[in-house]
A and B are shown apart, each in its own frame.
Chain A
Amino acid sequence: MQGSHGNKIMKNIFIQEEYCLGCRLCEIYCQVKHSKSKKIIKAFKKELVDSLPRVLVEEIGYNSFAIQCRHCVDAPCEDACISGAMVKNKKTGVVICNEKKCVGCWSCIMVCPYGVIKRDLSAKKIASKCDLCEDEDIPVCVKNCPNEALKFKEIDQKELVDDRSESK
């Protein structure tokens, strides 16, 4: 269903698989960014259970890539969300999980074809996913990638992957 959220230009993260070194710096910076202290030593020594990286590096041998929420045009997680927590912002295109509304039913995990939503079991059970670092100019995973395996650029939403309408 094209155009169901308008066709505004949004910025999104692109994966350049061939450039990924598998260094996992994206995971580390993401985890620190979403930790309480925002400090790398504290985040890893004391808050390890409280914060999760929202980007995931997959790796077999020399083959690797980093993947996070694709902020789908027609986000299946938004359709599946029973609490109204998962909402795609119509202006920015960013899919955000409102942690106050999330009840941890895991419907989003059940339907996300990328498998990029995690269970955050720290305080309240909630879904944890990429928020595109809304308060930063560039998401930290992109900014700290040493080999430009992640890129942050504008995209017409029409070109974004809509898993259900143009697959195969």
Chain B
Amino acid sequence: MIEVKVNKDHKVSNKKIKGIVDYLIIGNSASGLAAAESIRETDKKGRLVVITEEEYTNYSKPLITYYLAGKVDLDNIYFKPESFYKDNNIELLTSTNIKSIDPEKQEIVTGSRDKINYKKLLIASGGRPIVPGIKISGRSVKAALPFDSIDGSNYSDVGGIFTLTTLEDSIRIKNYIEKNEIKSITILGGGLIGLKSAEAFLEIGLKINIVELADRILAATFDSQASGIIENAIESTGSRIYKNNTIEEIFVDSGKVYGYRLRDGRENDCDLLILAIGVSPDLGFIKEGMIDTNRGIKVDSRMKTSAENVYAAGDIIEGLDILLEENRNIAIWPLAVRQGRIAGSNMAGNTVDYEGGFFMNSVEILDIPSISMGVTNLSMQDDNGVEIKKIFKPDQNLYRKIVIKDDKIIGVIMIGNIERAGIYSGLIRNRIDLSGVKENIYREDFGIIHLPSEYKKHLVVGEGIEV
């Protein structure tokens, strides 16, 4: 076990839960705690228990790369204050994983085989990193390690190979960097987690290699011009990006990684390898047939699952994407909070519908801020009714792209200048028809004043207030 100094108030002693729990929440992050808070707005007294497999009270998952970069310390990595559990009368059970759920008996079984009965259950336990199967080879591999390829269950037995989705991952990486002389870092995956990791290592002055399967980084959220700006900035630090590529074989010596071979045959030194190809809903404890699942848990607009008295929210579910008009997994913080609040309110007896959401992300790399939202990688040829407005000044690391379909914004990329980005997300969320004002909306000085008058009035004076 790694020794970490954590604010004493943020560690809780473990205990057994006896009797029936009114509200049982699996997951102690964005969605779970938003639900707890929301339940308490309606029901101040019902017994509320939050269970987490992690050992900390709460911490913000998106801050783990900020912790790695030294920008946030462990005393400031929480997102709810120390008094949160007490103020909201929440019993917290840490270091407790879930073995199974039985919706018939309204019971869960923990890893240590304790049973907890509930009246309402929320599953908000999030995702788990995807670990690709990669062959390992090298001197004394057989002696040091009892396997010849890595997978989700064994990768952490190889020194220098990590995933980065929990605080413990981040602490272990930080300790590894301190104890070992790290010369070359490789991040497998140029998506969101990969780039957030890259941001942290670049911040502490370490060069990196990024290996990405697609033809560019951030392929899921950026178009090629946007990716290009960020790629150039990363490469300007002496870091390298290997695109259309993947790691085929990892070289290990005395139980530690020292290099790898790429699909194109090239070989690189590497003493710290971050596996960041993605995260997927963690459905391991849901037995087949108990709750309807697809890639994630299926929910209705009240965040109810197919099982009676069982709700789900956050990165583990498939919620409504208002742009694609279908349910899918969109694992982002703002939606996790929103869904948690809706779930909690419904669990406490209210009737609230989730209005749906869409993908969005903000990432700043090497002092270049960027925001992307919605569907951004369409071309005008792809689809009738699609219009694209652009400002592209790569020499200034500046890019703005607005994708419009049937007179409504469906996607935005902003790089360099992200001022007032939220006006665009409001336009997307509210499905505002922009016919007549489209010429203004991609301007760098774009503002509320350029919007259709009804929506502008809604924003500026509010409903029901005449001037």
A residues in contact (CB < 8 Å) with B: 1, 3-4, 6, 14-19, 56, 58-60, 63-65, 67, 70, 76, 79-84, 100-101, 103-115, 117-119, 159-161, 163-168
B418 and A167 within 8 A (CB): no
Write the B59-89 contact mask toward A (1 if CB under 8 angstroms, else 0): 0101100100001100010111100000000
Q: Which residues of B contact A17 (CB under 8 A)?
A: 460-461, 467
Residues of B within 8 A of A59 (CB): 449
Report whether A84 and B448 are in contact in the complex, using a CB–CB cutoff of 8 Å: no
* Complexed CA–CA distance, A68 and B459 (Å): 11
- Residues of chain A contacted by B79 (CB below 8 angstroms): 81-84
Report yes or no: A110 in contact with B448, Cβ–Cβ below 8 A: no
Determine the chain B residues whose CB is within 8 A of the CB of A16 once the complex forms.
461, 467
Q: Which of B92-100, B187-195, B292-300, B336-344 touches A?
A: B336-344
Kindly state whether residue B426 has any CB partner on chain A within 8 Å: yes
Asked if B38 and A110 make an inter-chain contact with CB atoms under 8 angstroms apart, the answer reads no
Look across to chain A and name the residue whose beta carbon is closest to the beta carbon of B84. Answer: A84
Contact of B369 among A4, A70, A103, A119 (CB under 8 A): A119
Closest to A167 in B: B430
B465 beta carbon closer than 8 Å to chain A: yes
Known: A1-B345, A84-B81, A117-B422. Is A161-B458 also a contact (CB below 8 A)? Answer: yes
B423: which A residues are within 8 A, CB to CB?
112-115
State whether A65 touches B426 (Cβ < 8 A): no
Q: Which residues of B contact A (CB under 8 A)?
A: 34, 38, 41, 60, 62-63, 66, 71-72, 76, 78-81, 333-334, 337-338, 341-342, 345, 352, 355, 360-362, 364, 369, 371, 373, 418-423, 425-426, 429-432, 447-450, 455, 458-465, 467
Q: Which residues of B contact A111 (CB under 8 A)?
A: 334, 360, 422, 425
Which residues on the A side are within 8 Å of B371 (C-beta)? 106, 109-110
Question: Top 4 nearest A-B pairs by Cβ distance?
Answer: A113-B426, A115-B420, A84-B79, A112-B422
Complex alpha-carbon distance, A93 and B451, angstroms: 28
Bound together, the chains give a CA A114 to CA B352 distance in angstroms of: 25
A119: B residues at CB distance < 8 A? 369, 418-419
The verdict on A160 contacting B462 (CB below 8 Å), with A103-B66, A115-B423 known, is yes
B364 and A103: CB pair below 8 A?
Answer: no
A115 touches B467 (CB 8 A): no
The answer to whether A79 touches B449, judged by C-beta atoms less than 8 angstroms apart, is no
Which residue of the partner chain, among B360, B421, B431, B448, contacts A67 with CB atoms under 8 Å?
Answer: B448
B421 A114 Cβ-Cβ under 8 A: no
What residues of A have a CB within 8 angstroms of the CB of B333 in the complex? 80, 82, 107
In the complex, which residues of chain A have a beta carbon less than 8 angstroms from the beta carbon of B426?
112-114, 163
Asked, given contacts A63-B449, A84-B80, A106-B369, whether A15 binds B364 with beta carbons under 8 Å apart, the answer is no
Closest residue of chain B to A64, judged by CB? B449
> Would A161 and B463 count as touching, CB distance under 8 A?
yes
Q: List 5 A-B contacts (CB under 8 A).
A: A70-B462, A109-B419, A113-B459, A114-B423, A168-B432
| Nearest CB of chain B from residue A143's CB, rounded to whole Å | 20
**How many Å from the CB of B454 to the closest CB on chain A?**
8
Chain B: minimal CB distance from A57 (Å): 10
Query: Is there an interface contact between A109 and B449, defined as CB atoms closer than 8 Å?
Result: no
B421 adjacent to A15 (CB under 8 Å) = no
Q: Contact check, A58 vs B461: say whether CB atoms are below 8 A apart.
A: no
CB distance from B206 to the nearest CB of A (A): 20
B467 and A18 within 8 A (CB): yes
Q: How far is the CA of A81 from the CA of B338 in the complex (A)?
A: 12
Residues in chain B near residue A161, CB distance under 8 A? 458-459, 462-463
With contacts A4-B341, A84-B78 taken as known, whether A105 is within 8 angstroms of B362 at the C-beta atoms is yes
